[in-house]
Amino acid sequence: MNTAHRSGRLAATVLAAVLAGTGLTVAAAPAAHAAASDTVAKLPFTSYSALAVDSVHERIFLADADVGSHANYGQIAVYTFQGERISTIHTTYHVSGLALSADASTLYVGERYRISAYDTATLAIKSAPSVPSDQCGREVVVAGGKPYYTSQWADNLTQCATAASTLDTVVNGGWQRTGWNDSGKLLLEGGPNDTFVMGQGLNSAAPDPFLSVFDGSGETPVRGATRRFADDAGQGALDLKDIAVSPDGAKVALADAKTGTRLLNTSDLSDASTGYQPLPAGATAASVAFSGDGTYLARGASATGATPDLLVQPADPGDATAPLEFVFEGSQDGDRVVPRGMEWSADGSRLFAVTTNATGGQYWLHIIQPPAVQYDVRFTGGLTHSPAQAVAGEPLAVRGKLEWDGPAPGRPLQVTASRTDAAGTHDLGTFPVKEDGSYTVLDEPGLLGDATYRVSFLGDLTHRPADGPSTTVTVGKAPASIALTAPAEASMSSGVEITGTFTAQGRALPDRAVLKVERTDRLGSGTLSSVTVGADGTFTVNDIPRARRDVTYTVSWPGDDLHLGASASATVHVTR
């Protein structure tokens, strides 16, 4: 036995929320382990074909593909739900497809020249009828009490991508063609009530692959809904890696390497009204599986670095509960989830996921138990903000604190925030909670008047949702300032030159500011020519004084809808 057991994510990701253009950053450090366990077993394989889960006897069957030569032997490793390898079934030829009967009494195995049936209790072979030769690796599914399987003939593995595939079955101990066939790999996935789904792999002979639903309850399968996905321009074709059917049969989920996780209505294979959120940036969909109780959906991916390779989340796409995320990276875990590499136990208490390394020569079985208990979360105290006087167009930080019961989360919890102002309610996104429970919501209000900030916690697989506090902030105009540099003394003959700098905080002005210039001397006051502020905020005032003695120059700006006005004065002693 070669297993390892630990809790939580395999790598924690540092989350940061950055307010663009402000230089303000809030970061949460890597958190402790989540309330989800992950038992890992190293598989005795250098290739992988299929996974089947027997929830009656609590056994996991994994097939080593090893296609490529008629001389290759096959093997099926048998594990307990605790990750212990208890047996290995050896086959004469390479083995490639596994499927269980409805009562889990029989395991059907696709071999090179036969479809074998094994007793799941004793692991003894029950029958092994000969069937058409398969060179590339079979898919096997059970419907109507009999196995359906694919067969592909190719002279070598390089032809498998486009080689013709047929859908066959076993009747009265002999094989029978169904008449359904196409080019390239045909994926099969069972559903309730003797239905199954067939999907075509993308290949050069099938630039717009199909997906079809079949009724397998009769003597021959009857096709129902079918769909191709490319538009009139040839864009959007399916790049299928895995299929999952919801326990009630109402939905089909696809792992599409181009678009991520597709959710379809089984009845007509139309897109569901609400789909799943995109996978994290940099993750390519590889596998998908509904839990047997319909509670969870697992989405496996190929990703590098700290990008999650597995998300476990509510199966309801309208449920915004944050998923559990797993990062597989390294020699103890593998690097990515393999296509067709996930299945659940019937009660939804365990997810079985197969990972492989970057080169695809080693394999691991992960047994993941999502948390069975949810804990309470509560907001403590009120909200504070800084700066004390909020101004339009300037960064504002709203702070609060969150407490939670149960174990520390595997990744930082996140609060959701909104702002309500004269223009309505605005979603500000999510913000991470630090290990001490503190969080900071960053915003840049753009309207004058009252702005009400509200926070909440949407919940995750471990913690229940919670409503948070609110606070109302009065947003005022941003300040502006004028600074003048003037000579202490000047003459009427040489004139006066005053330089200055104009600064306006908050939102940038739509145009350069135009400043009013007034002169006051012993003869009275008057307005001089206005000056326009340069792109760098500087300006110059030039004047020929009309009188001797002290002359005061006042430069002012009236302000605008979002900025306060500003004024500055300088006095120059003028001689003849």
C-alpha distances in Å from residue 188, one per residue of 10, 50, 94, 117, 420: 31, 11, 19, 18, 50
All residue ranges of the chain with pLDDT < 50 are 1-35
Tokens representing residue 19 in the block: 């307010």
Distance, CA of 290 to CA of 191 (rounded, Å): 11
Strands (E), 505-565: 514-521, 524-527, 531-532, 538-543, 549-557
Distance, CA of 18 to CA of 442 (rounded, Å): 8
H-state helical runs in 406-528 = none
Q: What is the model's pLDDT at position 571?
A: 97
Distance, CA of 430 to CA of 226 (rounded, Å): 39
Q: What is the model's pLDDT at position 6?
A: 38
> CA torsion sign, 186 to 189 to 193 to 194?
positive
Per-residue burial over 112-127, b = 16 or more CB atoms within 10 Å of its CB, e = otherwise: bebbbbbebeebeeee
Nearest to 23 by CA among 542, 442, 559, 481: 442
What are the beta bridge partners of residue 499?
485, 540
Q: Domains of the chain (ranges plus CATH)?
A: 239-370 (2.130.10.10), 377-476 (2.60.40.10), 480-575 (2.60.40.10)
Using an 8 Å Cβ cutoff, are 432 and 412 in contact? yes
CA atoms within 13 A on the CB side of 558: 5
CA 310 vs. chain centroid, Å, equals 10
DSSP labels for 236-288?
Answer: S---EEEEEE-TTSSEEEEEETTTEEEEEETTT-PBPSS-PPPPPTT-EEEEE
Residues 6+ apart with CB under 8 A from 539: 499, 500, 501, 502, 515, 531, 532, 533, 555
- For strand 186-190 and strand 195-200, is the pairing parallel, antiparallel, or unpaired? antiparallel
Cα Rg for the chain, rounded, in angstroms?
35
C-alpha distances in Å from residue 197, one per residue of 163, 246, 265, 567: 20, 12, 12, 75
Q: Is 545 helix (H, G, I), strand (E, B) or coil?
A: coil
